[in-house]
Structure formats: structure tokens, C-alpha cells
Structure 1
Amino acid sequence: MTQPGPTVSFGGEQIEVGSLEIGEAYRAPLDEILMMTTGIVVAYLGSNHVTISDLPTLIRTVYRGLSSVADIPAHPAEAAPLAPAVPIKKSITPDYLVCLEDGKRFKSLKRHLRAQYDMSPDQYRAKWNLPEDYPMVAPNYSVARSKIAKTLGLGQPRRKSPAEPMQAAA
């Protein structure tokens, strides 16, 4: 996955420092490194004069320095193997689904996955080797929402109102 590198707004101009090739396992440590890089560069700029042309070099230097001391495995093979928060078979119950990422319970996983992990349902299924028909909504919740939709007449063709035939006759 390619993630844009750190960008800095300086003198009304957005400056991109580069891009990083990262995997999902490295996202959190890299986000922390980016935040620390930003803090250090901003503090440095507060008390030192740096030209716009030297700013990308400064950012790269700080970022690389922090990255070199961070505890990030060099290769994904060295990273810890994926272990779900709960066994996959126990992640589906009639009333809720358990997120394999963090073990939290939800009636619907889709929004949680997008908000917390920036992950689509398909990416989630692929990451955990789940079947295509793995639900993203708890079975009982799905049934309840279906009943509500049917009582509201959703999913049915529109009925013609009594006023419409009169307009056609006129």
C-alpha cells in the first residue's frame, strides 16, 4: 500500500516530502512517527530560519532519524502473525458481530472498520481470510431492519395515487 509521505504547509504552499511503501501492520507506528516529525519540525521552525527549498530536506532528515530508532520490523515476514481478537467461529452471534481487529461488539461492522481502520468489508474479509458471504451485519439486526423496511413499503413498486388517473382522463 502506498501512503503519501508527510506534507507541510509552508508559505501557503503544500510541500510533499516523499512517499512510503507500508503494510497495514506498520500503519500505527508510522502515524506516530509522522506526528513526532511534524512536532519536531514545527518546533525547529519556531526558533530557526529555514528557506522553503531547505524545508523538504529538514523534514526528510527528521523523519529518517525517527524511523531509524523506531521499533518497526524491516520485513513483513518478521512481523507478528495475525491473530484475531476472538476466534473467527465465535465472532458471529445472533445479536452482534465481534470485530476481529479489536474484539469490540457491533450490530454492523462496516462503519467501525472504515472509521477505525480505514478498511472496506472486502479488505477485512481478505485480511482475515473470511468467506465472501461473511456478514457485516448481525443476523437479528438484519431481520429487524428488514421488517421495518417492509412495514414502510420500501422495496415495493410505487402505487399510483387515486389523483393520477383523473389527471390522465382530463
Structure 2
Amino acid sequence: MMAHVQNLLEALEIVKAQAKVRTMVEEEIISMVQKLSEGIRDVCAGAQPEEDVSPAPVRKSIKEQTIVCLECGRSFKILTKKHLASHNLDADAYREKWGIKRNTPLVCKSLQRERRKKMKAMKLWERRKHAA
């Protein structure tokens, strides 16, 4: 039991340092503490780290206010071409690697909703009819 508490304290220190460097939402902090304390416990027990290839992190990476890069774990509003290039990927290669559908935009949900609303307000399809 004492080792579990020690692992949790070490994980909290790491997350606290990370939170000082970048903005983190509550669910990110909780998830990071859990993963780190489990990882520390596994390292202490001598277990080999296992690859997490489940589709759950992919679905959870696109959140309301952020999208999490599955390569490095950083949060953004948009996964830009420049950022993906830092991982030697383009948008299509990133989607293919992580099993994301081709038509899924690499932006957070709020920004996607905002863009959709602006396009509907512009009514480009009506302008095209009147021009023809």
C-alpha cells in the first residue's frame, strides 16, 4: 500500500511540472496521473511496457476545445501541417497511421462547428446559382 502511495506522489509531481509548462484540462491531468502511476508501478515491478494500440485513444483525442497529437501527446486547436512535419508525416499519413477516417478534419470540435456555421451563413451554393 505504501508503494502505491509513493507511486501516486511521484506521478503527481511529474504532472504538476507538466501543468506548469502547458495548459491542461482536468481530464488530461487525471489521465496522465493514472498512466504515470501505473507506469511507475510497472517499472518498479520490472514489467515490460506494452504497446497501446486500442482505438479508444484515437476517438478521445478529438475533444471539444483541443485535439491531442497521438504522436507526441501535445494539445492543439488544429494539427497543422508544420507540426505534423515535425513527426515526418502529412495529414493523410497521420490519419492512415492512426486509423482516422480520411474525411475527419484534424481540428477540435468547437472550431469545426464554428467553421461549419460560417460556411452555412455565407451560402456559397446560392451565390453559384445566381452567377450562372
Q: TM-score, normalised by structure 1?
A: 0.36
Q: Which has the larger radius of gyration?
A: 1
Q: Which has the higher strand share?
A: 1
Greater relative contact order (Cα < 8 A, sep 6+): 2
